[in-house]
């Protein structure tokens, strides 16, 4: 059985992420969505909240499960027995950011990173932009799975 990890901050999960995870699932028997810590980012939503939202989004997707990555992605990949890491690309800037991580993860574990090109109709969606639009009361409901928009709005309201 082949298993892949789709790691990310997922702060918040977007329709672009969902598209990439489903494409990964079409290539691997099982996909673990790994909610990880990006040292360069300070998350709006707590990790457990991101996990709950992702579990809800993939509840009807057999072969997809959601876990927290507690530390190094390379350790997690080894623990779950993944044969690949899968990441989505929207364009060249994504690739520039992903390449060093793919090389480092292969250096640490020998595991390959597979890049998936997502639906171009979703290429404008980025978690950072979703947060920014919501922060200033813009509409995000058609950018994220059900439940996520309310969670993002509530998180901003709690910070106000």
Q: Distance between CA 89 and CA 115 in Å, rounded?
A: 7
> Looking at beta carbons only, is 1 or 55 nearer to ligand PNS?
55
For residue 43, the Cα-to-chain-centroid distance in whole angstroms is 13
Phi, psi at 39, each rounded to 5°: -60, -20
Residue 133 Cβ, how far from ligand PNS at the closest point, in Å?
18
| 78 flagged as catalytic | no
| 41 flagged as catalytic | yes
**Residue 126 is a binding residue for ligand PNS (CB under 6 A):** no
Of these, 8, 12, 16, 118, which contacts ligand PNS (CB under 6 A)? 8
Judge whether 90 and 116 are in contact, CB under 8 Å. no
Of these, 3, 47, 52, 72, which contacts ligand PNS (CB under 6 A)? 72
Of these, 4, 36, 86, 134, which contacts ligand PNS (CB under 6 A)? 36
Of these, 73, 84, 125, 152, which contacts ligand PNS (CB under 6 A)? 73
Report the candidate in 41, 30, 27 with the shortest Cα–Cα distance to residue 10.
Answer: 41
Q: Is 128 annotated as a binding residue?
A: yes
Q: Is 35 annotated as a binding residue?
A: no
> Looking at beta carbons only, is 86 or 149 nearer to ligand PNS?
86
Tokens representing 9 are: 């901050």
Q: Distance between CA 47 and CA 45 in Å, rounded?
A: 6
**Residue 114 is a binding residue for ligand PNS (CB under 6 A):** no
| 131 flagged as catalytic | no
DSSP letter at 29 equals S
- Bridge partners (DSSP) of residue 80 are none
| 49 flagged as catalytic | no
């Amino acid at each position: 059985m082949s298993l892949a990890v789709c790691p990310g901050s997922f702060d918040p999960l977007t329709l672009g992420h969902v598209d990439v995870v489903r494409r990964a699932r079409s290539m691997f028997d099982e996909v673990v969505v790994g909610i990880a810590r990006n040292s360069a980012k300070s998350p709006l939503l707590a990790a457990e909240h991101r996990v709950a939202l992702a579990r809800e989004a993939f509840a009807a997707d057999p072969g997809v499960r959601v876990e927290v990555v507690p530390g190094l992605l390379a350790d997690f990949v080894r623990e779950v027995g993944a044969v690949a890491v899968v990441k989505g690309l929207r364009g060249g800037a994504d690739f520039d950011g992903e390449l060093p991580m793919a090389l480092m993860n292969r250096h640490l574990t020998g595991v390959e990173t597979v890049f998936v090109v997502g639906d171009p109709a979703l290429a404008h969606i980025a978690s950072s932009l979703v947060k920014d639009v919501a922060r200033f009361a813009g509409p995000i409901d058609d950018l994220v799975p059900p439940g996520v928009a309310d969670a993002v709005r509530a998180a901003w309201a709690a910070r106000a």
